[in-house]
Amino acid sequence: MKIFADNTIIKDFINQNNYSDASKTLFEIQKNDWQMLKNGVNSLSAVKTKSFQFDGFKIKAQFNAGRMTSTSAKVDSKSISERKCFLCVENLPEQQRGILYNNYIILCNPFPIFPEHFTITHKEHQPQRIVDTFSDMIDISRDLSEYYSVIYNGPRCGASAPDHLHFQAGNKFFMPIDDEFHLIKNEYGKEIYESDDLSMFAVDDGIRKFISIESIDRDLLIKTFSRFYKIYSEIMNEDREPLMNLISFYEAEYGWRVIIFLRSKHRPAAFFAEDESKMLVSPAAIDIGGVCVFPREEDFNRITKEQLADIFKEVFVDRSELEKIIIECTKI
Ligand SMILES: [Zn+2]
């Protein structure tokens, strides 16, 4: 199939099961031979950032005009059914190439936030859902871990293609939370469970609420996530997938660290405002991981630390829901 990169260096890395370097090489090659990606990467040099320091962590605001389509994407079922799926192989840009990884294709994201930003799509058109694909996510995270963290945005919580299963990957430590996790956990974390094999914490840092699971044992991690998922679904009273964004960070020595951001809504009220209070911001994993994207310069210019904190607080579950999750997860 023409979609797969026909390059001996990439093939050599794949043969060595080294998907980190295969992906990095793909990005380097596509940056030169695919104009759309070249433009996207070049536009990153025009990105402006400012940093807000909170007690023990920071959130950066990034003005990134290239993210307008994604931030403002219509994800209601009518809009989705009326458009061609942009992640299906037959609809990908002519010059795009990818790497086959099990049932997935690793693709360069031509509208990057990370310096090297990938979309990892399922080969087939099937809905975005985590409950039975969590094991895929952590495998990808392990196999790309030399350079990249892997993220997941729920179908009603930031995925701009809720109808086509996909993850994203980007440079480790680009999101401040990759680096700040332990500080945040020590300062704001409440232990749910801790053993030699697995550690589970609940964190409320004042603007975000999340559950972290750290383990080097793949099966135990999968089992724990699956139990958490059931509890979270019940507490949020959801038949559909409860709202969440995930970041998986893997190191050979310590194993996985999965952060599960607990969300109450997809977009803040300011997103829908029709007066001057409108703020085009649509928080998903990267944003709440500490790089909050603003595709409109005027929003970037006027956003304050207090406003950003309020926007984050608005889209996370409340304290009582977190308490219920802690109580139920403690029984696991
Ligand atoms: Zn599709």
Give per-residue pLDDT as tens, 51-75.
999 999 999 999 998 888 877 778 8
The Cα–Cα gap between 311 and 217 comes to 36
89 C-alpha to ligand 1 centroid (Å): 7
Mean pLDDT of 14-29: 98
Give per-residue pLDDT as tens, 274-297.
999 999 999 999 999 999 999 999
The Cα–Cα gap between 38 and 4 comes to 19
Residue type, 148: Y
Per-residue confidence (pLDDT) for residue 71, from 0 to 100? 77
CB neighbourhood size of 156 (10 A): 18
Order of all β-strands in the sheet with 98-101: 98-101, 104-108, 117-122, 166-171, 148-153, 244-251, 255-262, 209-215, 198-204, 189-194
Inter-axis angle of helices 218-235 and 134-143, to 10 degrees?
A: 140
163 C-alpha to ligand 1 centroid (Å): 7
Mean pLDDT of 83-96: 95
Size (the chain), residues: 332
Strands 57-63 and 291-294: parallel
166 C-alpha to ligand 1 centroid (Å): 10
Per-residue confidence (pLDDT) for residue 332, from 0 to 100? 76
Per-residue confidence (pLDDT) for residue 30, from 0 to 100? 97
315 C-alpha to ligand 1 centroid (Å): 28
User: Phi and psi dihedrals of 193, rounded to 5?
Assistant: -160, 140
Give per-residue pLDDT as tens, 219-253.
999 999 999 999 999 999 989 999 999 999 999 99
- Cβ atoms of 315 and 93 closer than 8 Å: no
Give per-residue pLDDT as tens, 123-146.
999 999 999 999 999 999 999 999
209 C-alpha to ligand 1 centroid (Å): 31
**Is 80 a residue whose pLDDT tops 90?**
no
Confidence of residue 1 (pLDDT cuts 50, 70, 90): low
Confidence of residue 159 (pLDDT cuts 50, 70, 90): very high
Cβ neighbours for 29, distance < 8 A, ≥ 6 positions apart: 5, 7, 10, 97
CB neighbourhood size of 192 (10 A): 22
255 C-alpha to ligand 1 centroid (Å): 32
83 C-alpha to ligand 1 centroid (Å): 10
88 C-alpha to ligand 1 centroid (Å): 4
164 C-alpha to ligand 1 centroid (Å): 5
User: Phi and psi dihedrals of 328, rounded to 5?
Assistant: -65, -40
78 C-alpha to ligand 1 centroid (Å): 15
All domains in the chain, ordered by first residue: 8-330 (3.30.428.70)
| Secondary structure element (H or E) that encloses residue 74, with its range | none
DSSP codes, 5-64: ---HHHHHHHHTT-HHHHHHHHHHHHHHH-HHHHHHHHHGGG-EEEEEEETTEEEEEEE-
Strands 189-194 and 244-251: unpaired
Mean pLDDT of 301-310: 97
125 C-alpha to ligand 1 centroid (Å): 4
The Cα–Cα gap between 89 and 87 comes to 6
Inter-axis angle of helices 319-330 and 218-235, to 10 degrees?
A: 130
CB neighbourhood size of 322 (10 A): 20
**Is 83 a residue whose pLDDT tops 60?**
yes
The Cα–Cα gap between 291 and 189 comes to 21
Mean pLDDT of 188-192: 97
Per-residue confidence (pLDDT) for residue 215, from 0 to 100? 98
Q: CA 67, 68, 73 angle in degrees (round to 5)?
A: 105
Per-residue confidence (pLDDT) for residue 69, from 0 to 100? 80
Per-residue confidence (pLDDT) for residue 59, from 0 to 100? 98
91 C-alpha to ligand 1 centroid (Å): 8
Lowest mean pLDDT among 2-6, 284-288, 299-303: 2-6
Q: What percent of the chain has pLDDT over 70?
A: 100
**Is 318 a residue whose pLDDT tops 80?**
yes
Six-digit token string for 80 = 């989705």
Six-digit token string for 155 = 């179908």
DSSP codes, 116-163: SEEEEEESS-----STTTHHHHHHHHHHTTTTEEEEEE-TTTT-S-TT
Among the listed residues 175, 158, 136, the one whose alpha carbon sits nearest the alpha carbon of residue 49: 175
The Cα–Cα gap between 123 and 85 comes to 13
| Secondary structure element (H or E) that encloses residue 113, with its range | none
Q: What percent of the chain has pLDDT over 90?
A: 91
